[in-house]
């Protein structure tokens, strides 16, 4: 199938550069044939980033809880009356 369209030279140059192809038609064909795969990969990576952000939030809560527990331990360990009979 033959597809013909007008495109901005800067866009074509960017597509040629990103696909490492010297011919505009080959570069556009490559970009079009890989578009759906790249779109799916982009969605997968966005989901992975969201999962990692959730994990980071959980880890931060764990660290905050550990910090609070450590501060409480230091406070109680510093109370001399706890160690006297």
**What would the pLDDT profile of 25-77 be if each residue is shown by its tens digit?**
999 999 999 999 999 999 999 999 999 999 999 999 999 999 999 999 988 88
Report residue 5's pLDDT band, with 50, 70 and 90 as the boundaries.
Answer: confident
Dist. CA 69–CA 83, nearest whole Å: 20
pTM: 0.65
Number of domains within the chain: 1
Q: Is residue 53 part of a domain?
A: yes
Q: What range defines the domain where residue 28 resides? A: 9-78
Q: Is residue 84 part of a domain?
A: no
Q: Is residue 64 part of a domain?
A: yes
Q: Is residue 1 part of a domain?
A: no
Q: What is the pLDDT of residue 3?
A: 85
N- to C-terminal Cα separation, the chain: 93
Q: Is residue 83 part of a domain?
A: no
């Amino acid at each position: 199938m033959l597809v013909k369209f007008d495109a901005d030279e800067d866009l074509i140059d960017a597509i040629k550069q990103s696909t490492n192809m010297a011919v505009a038609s080959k570069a556009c064909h490559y970009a079009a044939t890989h578009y759906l795969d790249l779109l799916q990969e982009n969605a997968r990576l966005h989901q992975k980033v969201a999962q990692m952000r959730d994990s980071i939030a959980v880890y931060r809560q764990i660290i905050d809880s550990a910090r609070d527990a450590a501060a409480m331990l230091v406070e109680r360990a510093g109370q001399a009356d706890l160690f006297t009979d």
